[in-house]
Amino acid sequence: MSRIGKAPIALPAGVSVNVNGNVVTVKGPKGELSETINPDLTVKVDAGHVIVERPTDDRDHRAQHGLARALIHNMVEGVSNGYKKEMELVGVGYRANADGQVLELALGFSHAIFIKLPKEIKVEAKSERNKNPMIILESADKQLLGQVCAKIRSLRKPEPYKGKGIKFVGEIIRRKSGKSAGAK
């Protein structure tokens, strides 16, 4: 049996799970999320735990079992604690400015880039003297947050020679040495 799939999901205080057919809806203090799961799987809510069960040991059912459990766990975690990603802009003249749900980025191009973020995501841009500008994104939806972060990062990925670009805080960039000086 799937190790991930068979683990029960504990519900924290203030979080409720509603199963309607194959749609699982999770409500909590940080919002409400819903996910459609495979109709072959059964989701049970009892005694403060959510349990996902599969009908057979087919390869597809095993794969869907772990996936469904992980998605429901991420929703429970998101509506109770939320998710937070911090990104750092490394480069001379790189700037970020947040105005409501619009993020303005200056990344060394001839023009500024404006990104309209979904309403589920809270954005904050910090700029301190002698430190790289930071973008802080928060949301209850882990998938949406990851997708938005990947889109922002794709505008200027960190390059291996000088390390310039948009990177996550704590991310290690593999550096290259560059040209060998005086090789004949």
66 φ/ψ sector (left φ>0, alpha ψ -120 to 50, else beta): alpha
On average, the pLDDT of the chain sits at: 92
Three-class DSSP labels, the chain = CCCCCCCCEECCCCCEEEEECCEEEEEECCEEEEEECCCCCEEEEECCEEEEECCCCCHHHHHHHHHHHHHHHHHHHHHHCCEEEEEEEECCCCEEEEECCEEEEECCCCCCEEEECCCCCEEEEECCCCCCCEEEEEECCHHHHHHHHHHHHHCCCCCCCCCCEEEECCCCCCCCCCCCCCCC
User: Model confidence at 182, in pLDDT bands (50, 70, 90)?
Assistant: low
Q: What is the DSSP string of 64-80?
A: HHHHHHHHHHHHHHHHH
Least confident of 10-19, 42-51, 72-81, 175-184: 175-184
- The mean pLDDT value for 57-85 works out to 94
Pick from 121, 117, 25: which is nearest to 75 by CA?
25
Pick from 32, 22, 19: which is nearest to 64 by CA?
22
Which tens digits make up the pLDDT trace of 83-105?
999 999 999 999 999 999 999 99
CA gap 78, 81 in Å, rounded: 6
pLDDT confidence of residue 117: 96
pLDDT confidence of residue 4: 86
pLDDT confidence of residue 1: 46
Q: Please check whether residue 102 is in contact with residue 117, taking contact to mean a CB–CB distance below 8 angstroms.
A: yes
How many residues make up the chain in this entry? Answer: 184
Which tens digits make up the pLDDT trace of 14-65?
999 999 989 999 999 999 999 999 999 999 999 899 999 999 999 999 999 9
Report whether pLDDT(183) > 60: no
User: Model confidence at 113, in pLDDT bands (50, 70, 90)?
Assistant: very high
% of the chain exceeding 70 in pLDDT: 97
Classify strands 113-116 and 9-10 as parallel, antiparallel or unpaired.
unpaired
